[in-house]
């Protein structure tokens, strides 16, 4: 019998426990079969996942998986593919949408194409050379880009000059120009330490300044695409949509899953890791993204979620480092796409892993005051990486029965030749070990490979692990009811509370029976038989 080489998991951790591994670890020896690690006996509730080829409409495109950066990051020389591994990390997400904006846009960013000094105390100067460096990055990653134009200091001429250079340099890669970032939060009341307007500021004054900027931009580049208003508030979305701005490309919304920074309620919307994967999270997402979708639909424009993340609350690195954030990032991205969000960018920055932006997908592991050229990833990015096999697919009808805190999504792609089903098992591995799952697939399809991210619990920090894509064995662990109907010839079913037994596999009834580890996300790629 040939020796079967397997991988039980590639760890995500580093020496100080505050950040992540640089890239997906390469196991040795290279695995040839998919195998999981279980944190304990499989005692979770049985689940039945039914995947079909019945299309439901929305698709998952490369733009649904994206990264938002602060505008000041445009000046970072490490955007150049020759200066860091940022391009490699981004390419691991496919061809991700890129966005440059954030609070730094209106408060710390100064644009010049003439070598001027910053005029109002802005900390970072952006020039055409910075956009040329960005062009190198997007050429390698195949990404589309949206760029914010500073509105904090009112200067339509300067804004139009930046926009014209962005259009000329980025070409077809540029899909939207956002005039200002969160203009509904410009006053002292909204941002005490970052006010850029007086207390009389309102959406009507915003529209007048927005229209002045757009007019100046279109005088230079008539077809420049404008997006906005980059806010959460639906009334401001209506103001943007009804403005006289030409060439509106999309309604852009901002929203963070855990926004009640002072709350400790679980379940709730406070910045606790458990709130990321509680079913209430989907209800909140449906309600709040529904606001943007309704305004976009009324304006006959697509909805782009230009800035989002687990939480914008300060001091939440612990939440962002948990395995729950990996499960949430994937589930939230897929769910938002099914709701009709056509572009999404998780907010990040090229800052330090230790003490930097807690929500960032990537970070710099160097000590404070230093910089490295080898960015590392956090658990949420590991979750997003497993969405790559689903890119380009159209969602199909998929259901989950039983299983507790579990969800599933399926897409069909490659002219109907490939199905990809993603199962998120958010039941805590520390409590249940795993869940027996019966995956029902159309009769003409067979599972060709599986991959997974998982942790020993939902709360474990800096320890999310990866099982790379590999074929399933003929017999896979299964401790639920119905093992006798599988194609394997192992022992009889043992119920739902014992350690996994190799009694599962693909049955003659078209069901794959497999135990799935708790605190995991598993991707099954299925191919249509010739």
Q: What is the DSSP track for 90-137?
A: HHTTSS-EEEEESTHHHHHEEE-SS-PPPSS--SEEE-HHHHHHHHHH
Residues of the chain with pLDDT > 70, as a percent, come to 90
Kindly report, residue by residue over 299-308, the tens digit of the pLDDT: 999 999 999 9
For the beta carbon of residue 499, count every other beta carbon within 10 angstroms: 15
Instruction: Enter the tokens of residue 386.
Output: 């497993």
What pLDDT, on a 0 to 100 scale, did the predictor assign at position 503? 79
Q: Give DSSP secondary structure letters for 419-471.
A: EEEEEEE-S-HHHHSEEEEEEE--TTEEEEEEEEEE-SSSS-BS--EEEEEEP
What pLDDT, on a 0 to 100 scale, did the predictor assign at position 205? 98
Biggest CA–CA distance in the chain, Å, is 79
Query: Residue 327's pLDDT band (boundaries 50, 70, 90)?
Result: very high
214 touches 179 (CB < 8 A): yes
CA distance 347 to 229: 17
Judged against a pLDDT cut of 70, whether residue 2 lies above it is answered with no
CA 408, 417, 385, 382 torsion-angle sign: positive
Q: Which residues of 229-241 are buried (b: 16+ CB within 10 A; e: fewer)?
A: bbbbbbebbbbbb
What pLDDT, on a 0 to 100 scale, did the predictor assign at position 456? 98
What pLDDT, on a 0 to 100 scale, did the predictor assign at position 484? 53
Bridge partners, residue 306, by sequence: none
* Spatial CB neighbours of 317, under 8 Å, sequence gap ≥ 6: 18, 355, 358
For the beta carbon of residue 15, count every other beta carbon within 10 angstroms: 7
For the beta carbon of residue 519, count every other beta carbon within 10 angstroms: 31
What secondary structure letter does DSSP report for 75? G
Judged against a pLDDT cut of 80, whether residue 87 lies above it is answered with yes
Dihedral class, residue 436 (left if φ above 0, else alpha if ψ from -120 to 50, else beta): beta
Judged against a pLDDT cut of 80, whether residue 212 lies above it is answered with yes
Reported pTM:
0.92
What pLDDT, on a 0 to 100 scale, did the predictor assign at position 287? 97
Judged against a pLDDT cut of 60, whether residue 33 lies above it is answered with yes
CA distance 389 to 357: 28
* Spatial CB neighbours of 209, under 8 Å, sequence gap ≥ 6: 151, 154, 156
Judged against a pLDDT cut of 50, whether residue 330 lies above it is answered with yes
275 touches 266 (CB < 8 A): yes
Is the previous residue joined to 229 through a cis bond, with omega within 30 degrees of 0?
Answer: yes
What pLDDT, on a 0 to 100 scale, did the predictor assign at position 430? 98
Query: Residue 225's pLDDT band (boundaries 50, 70, 90)?
Result: very high
CA distances from residue 292 to 57, 93, 147, 230, 312 in whole angstroms, order as listed: 19, 25, 20, 11, 19
What pLDDT, on a 0 to 100 scale, did the predictor assign at position 15? 30
Mean pLDDT of the 421-439 span: 98
What pLDDT, on a 0 to 100 scale, did the predictor assign at position 147? 98
Mean pLDDT of the 474-478 span: 91
**Quick check: helix, strand or coil at residue 35?**
coil
Of the ranges 157-161, 313-317, 366-370, 444-448, which one carries the lowest mean pLDDT score?
Answer: 313-317
Kindly report, residue by residue over 37-54, the tens digit of the pLDDT: 999 999 999 999 999 999
Residues of the chain with pLDDT > 90, as a percent, come to 81
With 0-12 / 13-18 / 19 or more C-beta atoms within 10 angstroms meaning exposed / middle / buried, residue 372 is: middle
For the beta carbon of residue 113, count every other beta carbon within 10 angstroms: 15
What is the phi/psi pair of residue 338, to 5°?
-65, -25
Mean pLDDT across the chain, nearest whole number?
90
Dihedral class, residue 177 (left if φ above 0, else alpha if ψ from -120 to 50, else beta): beta
Kindly report, residue by residue over 482-498, the tens digit of the pLDDT: 665 544 333 333 333 44
Mean pLDDT of the 378-398 span: 98
CA distance 19 to 23: 12
What is the phi/psi pair of residue 39, to 5°?
-75, -20
CA 12, 99, 91, 292 torsion-angle sign: positive
Mean pLDDT of the 329-353 span: 97
Bridge partners, residue 251, by sequence: 228, 303
Judged against a pLDDT cut of 70, whether residue 246 lies above it is answered with yes
Instruction: Enter the tokens of residue 351.
Output: 């800052």
Domains of the chain (ranges plus CATH)?
A: 47-57+394-480+503-528 (2.60.40.1180), 62-391 (3.20.20.80)
Judged against a pLDDT cut of 50, whether residue 339 lies above it is answered with yes
Judged against a pLDDT cut of 70, whether residue 8 lies above it is answered with no
Query: Residue 194's pLDDT band (boundaries 50, 70, 90)?
Result: confident
CA distances from residue 444 to 120, 395, 397, 416, 530 in whole angstroms, order as listed: 65, 18, 17, 11, 9
Q: Are strands 511-517 and 505-506 parallel, antiparallel or unpaired?
A: antiparallel
What pLDDT, on a 0 to 100 scale, did the predictor assign at position 465? 96
What pLDDT, on a 0 to 100 scale, did the predictor assign at position 491? 32
What secondary structure letter does DSSP report for 364? B
**Length of the chain as a residue count:** 530
């Amino acid at each position: 019998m040939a020796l079967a080489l397997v991988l039980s998991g590639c760890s995500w951790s580093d020496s100080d426990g505050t950040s992540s591994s640089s890239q997906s670890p390469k196991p040795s020896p290279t695995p040839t079969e998919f195998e999981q690690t279980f944190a304990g006996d499989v005692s979770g509730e049985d689940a039945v996942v039914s995947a079909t080829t019945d299309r439901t409409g929305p698709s998952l495109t490369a733009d649904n998986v994206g990264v938002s950066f602060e505008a000041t990051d445009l000046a970072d020389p490490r955007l150049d593919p020759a200066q860091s591994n940022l391009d490699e990390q981004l390419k691991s997400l496919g061809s991700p949408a890129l966005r440059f904006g954030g609070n730094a846009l209106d408060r710390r960013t100064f644009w010049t194409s003439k070598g001027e000094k910053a005029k109002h105390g802005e900390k970072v100067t952006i020039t055409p050379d910075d956009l040329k460096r960005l062009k190198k990055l997007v050429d390698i990653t195949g990404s589309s880009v949206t760029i914010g134009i500073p509105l904090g200091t009112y200067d339509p001429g300067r804004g139009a000059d930046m926009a014209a250079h962005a259009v000329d340099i980025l070409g077809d890669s540029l899909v939207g120009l956002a005039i200002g970032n969160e203009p509904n939060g410009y006053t002292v009341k909204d941002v005490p330490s970052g006010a850029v307007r007086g207390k009389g500021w309102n959406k009507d004054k915003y529209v007048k300044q927005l229209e002045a900027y757009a007019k100046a931009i279109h005088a230079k580049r008539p077809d420049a695409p404008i997006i906005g208003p980059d806010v959460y508030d639906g009334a401001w979305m209506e103001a943007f949509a009804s403005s006289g701005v030409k060439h509106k490309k999309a309604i852009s919304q901002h929203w963070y899953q855990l926004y009640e920074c002072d709350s400790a309620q679980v379940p709730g919307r406070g910045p606790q890791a458990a709130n990321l994967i509680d079913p209430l999270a989907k209800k909140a997402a449906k309600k709040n993204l529904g606001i943007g979708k309704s305004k976009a639909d009324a304006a006959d424009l697509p909805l782009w979620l230009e800035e989002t993340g687990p939480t914008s609350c300060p001091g939440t690195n612990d939440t962002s480092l948990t395995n729950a954030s990996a499960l949430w990032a994937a589930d939230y991205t897929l769910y938002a796409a099914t709701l009709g969000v056509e572009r999404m960018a998780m907010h990040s920055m090229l800052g330090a892993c230790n003490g930097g932006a807690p929500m960032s997908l990537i970070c710099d592991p160097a000590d404070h005051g230093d910089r490295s050229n080898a960015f590392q990833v956090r658990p949420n990015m590991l979750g997003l990486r497993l969405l790559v096999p689903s890119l380009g697919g159209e969602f199909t009808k998929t259901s989950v029965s039983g299983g507790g805190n579990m969800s599933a999504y399926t897409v069909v792609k490659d002219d109907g030749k490939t199905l990809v089903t993603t199962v998120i098992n958010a039941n805590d591995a520390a409590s249940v070990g795993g869940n027996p799952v019966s995956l029902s697939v159309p009769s003409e399809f067979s599972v060709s490979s599986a991959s997974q991210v998982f942790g020993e619990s939902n709360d474990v920090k800096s320890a999310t692990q990866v099982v790379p894509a590999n074929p399933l064995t003929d017999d896979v662990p299964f401790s639920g009811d119905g093992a006798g109907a599988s194609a394997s010839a192992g022992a009889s079913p043992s119920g739902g509370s014992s350690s996994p037994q190799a009694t599962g596999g693909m049955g003659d009834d078209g069901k794959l029976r497999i135990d799935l580890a708790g605190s995991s996300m598993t991707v099954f790629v299925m191919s249509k038989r010739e």
